[in-house]
Amino acid sequence: MKEISIDNLFKLNNPIVIDIRKRNNYNLDHIPNAINIPYAELITEYPIIMSKSEIYYICCDQGIKGKEVCNFLSKLGYHTINIAGGYEAYKNYK
């Protein structure tokens, strides 16, 4: 499973960030341009909403649930990278 730091994430050009936190947490604050697809929804709907030709950067609260999602999806052939420290890292970064 690959990881990226929040400062390296912001060096990328238009990364696809999926925020897997609950909608109410996402609505309070999130990484700019992140797409909110809560964990339970992503785990069941990934074939419909994801492409195996894209790279997805996964954001959760602290990076733990993101690791699970990345491991799960990478075994299915999706390209995912966990954001180390998750939203907490972003909050401390900004």
Domain range for 26 is: 2-93
Provide the pLDDT for residue 81: 98
3-state helix, strand, coil in the chain (%, to 5): 45, 20, 35
Provide the pLDDT for residue 54: 97
Count of domains observed in the chain = 1
In percent, how much of the chain has pLDDT > 70?
100
Residue range 8-53, pLDDT digits in tens: 999 999 999 999 999 999 999 999 999 999 999 999 999 999 999 9
| pTM, 2 dp | 0.94
Provide the pLDDT for residue 25: 97
**Which tokens sit at 26?**
């996402």
